[in-house]
């Protein structure tokens, strides 16, 4: 079959050193597959919650990284002459065909492995049936522009109200996809965007569930702010999402344990909890 048409490329007018800016195009439906890839496991607190509260322990993690540079030998001609690869993302009604320059896909270690396994005699096509279409589109946008948006009306510096939690979850899916693809810069940007979203208690709860069911326990970068937020605000927020909060604590023990640990550590530090040394005290059986 013929390869998709090459995406249009626009040369930036303001900075000659800016990365090539292009948009992946040619979105169609496709049923064939050449290379199969395993799916991403399905990953906020607001920067300024409704209550007066900040998280000083995570502020350093929210700084946007400097734009990643291409390899030293990369130039605009290399970009233009790079082959076009077709990527089929999702399955069923969500199946979407995207195209991108191979040189940009090679920056993601996992995708580079799949590209290297493509046979020269076969169409340059990768199939990712279990990946999220929206998150993968954000990944391609980042590869071309070094930034991404999850809603078209997003304005730099503007705080969006996310009552449903959709925007938080979109950023979280980009975060987990970036982790899978091996792109720490994209992870940092997604994490920073999460902390700029103003949301509702139910949205925060949905986000907490996603984070604790789709990220490894060792990833404290994204888990710690979630646990800290609920440790400080649960006494207020549980009045609005009491049953759902209880359900999350029961179904995701790691979440409830982290929240409880933060609360107890704080009480111990403030001297409001008696520290038991030596053997445990015996409980009076006549109480």
DSSP string for 204-233: HHHHHHHHHHHS-TT-HHHHHHHHHHHHHH
Rounded Cα gap, residues 51 and 267, in angstroms? 21
| Pick from 38-42, 266-270, 272-276: least confident | 38-42
What is residue 116's predicted lDDT score, i.e. its pLDDT? 92
What is residue 199's predicted lDDT score, i.e. its pLDDT? 86
Confidence at 77, pLDDT banded by 50, 70, 90: confident
More confident residue, 285 or 195: 195
Taking CB atoms within 8 Å and a gap of at least 24, the contacts of 74-80 are 74/103, 76/11, 76/20, 78/103, 79/9, 79/20, 79/103, 80/9
What is residue 88's predicted lDDT score, i.e. its pLDDT? 96
- 99: three-class secondary structure by DSSP: strand
Per-residue pLDDT, averaged over 86-97, amounts to: 95
Note the pTM of the prediction, 2 decimals.
0.68
* Of 183, 170, 42, residue with least CA distance to 111: 183
More confident residue, 30 or 186: 186
Which residues does residue 87 pair with via DSSP β-bridges, in sequence order?
98, 126
pLDDT at 121 over 50: yes
Query: Is the four-CA dihedral 91, 95, 99, 100 of positive or negative sign?
Result: negative
- Work out the end-to-end distance of the chain between its first and last CA atoms, rounded to an integer number of angstroms: 80
- Give the tens place of pLDDT for each residue, 247-273: 999 999 999 999 999 999 988 888 765
| Pick from 85-89, 223-227, 274-278: least confident | 274-278
What is residue 235's predicted lDDT score, i.e. its pLDDT? 77
pLDDT at 12 over 90: no
Per-residue pLDDT, averaged over 63-75, amounts to: 49
Q: What domains lie within the chain, and their CATH numbers?
A: 9-151+158-199 (3.30.710.10)
pLDDT at 154 over 70: no
What is residue 156's predicted lDDT score, i.e. its pLDDT? 52
| Pick from 162-166, 228-232, 253-257, 283-287: least confident | 283-287
Per-residue pLDDT, averaged over 24-34, amounts to: 42
pLDDT at 221 over 80: yes
Mean pLDDT of the chain: 75
With a CB cutoff of 8 Å and minimum separation 6, the contacts of 198 are 46, 47, 48, 159, 160, 161, 162
What is residue 275's predicted lDDT score, i.e. its pLDDT? 55
What radius of gyration, in Å, describes the C-alpha atoms of the chain?
Answer: 23
What is residue 37's predicted lDDT score, i.e. its pLDDT? 44
Rounded Cα gap, residues 81 and 167, in angstroms? 36
Rounded Cα gap, residues 210 and 206, in angstroms? 6
pLDDT at 20 over 80: no
Burial track 153-181 (b if 16+ CB lie within 10 A, e otherwise): eeeeeeeeebeebebbbbbbbbbbbbbbb
**Are the CB atoms for 134 and 112 separated by under 8 Å?**
no
**Are the CB atoms for 110 and 181 separated by under 8 Å?**
yes
């Amino acid at each position: 079959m013929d390869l998709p048409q090459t995406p249009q490329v626009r040369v930036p007018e303001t900075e000659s050193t800016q990365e090539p800016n292009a948009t992946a195009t040619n979105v169609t439906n496709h049923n064939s597959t050449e290379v199969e890839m395993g799916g991403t496991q399905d990953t906020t607190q607001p920067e300024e919650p409704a209550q007066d509260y900040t998280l000083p322990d995570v502020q350093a993690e929210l700084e946007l990284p400097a734009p990643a540079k291409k390899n030293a030998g990369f130039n605009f001609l290399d970009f233009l002459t790079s082959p076009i690869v077709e990527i089929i993302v999702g399955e069923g009604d969500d199946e979407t065909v995207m195209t991108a320059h191979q040189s940009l896909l090679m920056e993601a270690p996992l995708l580079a492995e799949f590209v290297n396994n493509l046979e020269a005699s076969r169409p340059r096509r990768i199939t990712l049936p279990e990946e999220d279409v929206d998150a993968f589109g954000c990944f391609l946008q980042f590869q071309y522009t070094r930034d991404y948006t999850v809603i078209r009306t997003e304005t730099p510096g503007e705080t969006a109200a996310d009552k449903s939690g959709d925007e938080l979850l979109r950023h979280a899916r980009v975060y987990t996809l970036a982790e899978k693809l091996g792109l720490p810069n994209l992870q940092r940007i997604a994490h920073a965007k999460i902390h700029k979203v103003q949301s509702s208690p139910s949205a925060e709860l949905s986000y907490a569930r996603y984070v604790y069911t789709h990220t490894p326990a060792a990833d404290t970068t994204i888990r710690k702010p979630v646990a800290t937020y609920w440790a400080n605000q649960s006494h207020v927020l549980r009045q609005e999402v009491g049953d759902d909060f209880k359900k999350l604590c029961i179904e995701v023990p790691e979440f409830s344990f982290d929240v409880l640990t933060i609360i107890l550590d704080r009480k111990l530090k403030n001297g409001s909890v008696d520290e038991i040394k030596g053997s445990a005290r015996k409980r009076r059986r006549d109480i």
